[in-house]
Amino acid sequence: MSHKRVAILISGGGSNMVSLVDSMIGDHPARPCLVLSNDAQAGGLVKAAERGIPTASVDHRPFKGDRAAFEAELLKPLEAAQPDIVCLAGFMRVLTGDFVSRFQGRMLNIHPSLLPKYKGLNTHARAIEAGDEEHGCSVHEVTAALDDGPILGQARLQIEPNDTPMTLAARVLVWEHKLYPAVLRRFSSGDHTPVLLP
């Protein structure tokens, strides 16, 4: 059996990318084929290279908002890596419908909220401000609409009375690192039923 090839897109520290890469060993049906960033300085690129994974970056800034032109460049290393599955892991650029449709049904994203709540940014602060009792993270299939698409897994936790956006983000991140690898393993074996944690 040949392994599914997984490309991972990042923008920053890449802690979710590391949790995915480190999970793809042994009898896991997938292996990493590329870590790609929109920022050559992203800390995650070093961590990927240390793990022997091919890396590439395409700086979005020279494209000055021309998403189609940026994505055309992003597609070059991505398509060359021939991924079966594309994982967005803290990738902070909005992708066009054209780009997303190329990977329809095989592109995943992790988002730090219990979707459909709190699409977009500042999710932890918004959950606290709303007085929510629970919060968490979601992995979903990527569709053209932002932070939308079928849910493939969620992890929930209680918001504590003294939580700040920072303390909450740190606790959610611990669950992200459990959820995303669990979803990727299940998804790459062809099973799309949601993973629910804890």
Contacting residues toward ligand GAR, per CB under 6 A: 10, 12-16, 44, 89-90, 110-112, 173, 176
What residues contact residue 49 under an 8 Å CB cut-off, 6+ apart? 55
Annotated catalytic residue 111: yes
β partners of residue 87: 8, 108
Instruction: Return the number of the residue (14 or 83) whose C-beta is nearest ligand GAR.
Output: 14
Measured from the CB of residue 14, what is the shortest distance to ligand GAR in angstroms? 5
Measured from the CB of residue 1, what is the shortest distance to ligand GAR in angstroms? 29
Closest-CB residue for ligand GAR?
A: 90
Measured from the CB of residue 154, what is the shortest distance to ligand GAR in angstroms? 12
Sort strands 134-141 and 151-158 into parallel, antiparallel or unpaired: antiparallel
* Catalytic residue chosen out of the listed positions 111, 124, 135, 177: 111
Instruction: Return the number of the residue (113 or 188) whose C-beta is nearest ligand GAR.
Output: 113
Instruction: Return the number of the residue (16 or 38) whose C-beta is nearest ligand GAR.
Output: 16
Measured from the CB of residue 162, what is the shortest distance to ligand GAR in angstroms? 21
| Backbone dihedral angles phi then psi of residue 41, each to the nearest 5 degrees | -90, 0
What residues contact residue 32 under an 8 Å CB cut-off, 6+ apart? 6, 7, 8, 20, 21, 24, 48, 51, 53
Residues annotated as part of the active site: 111
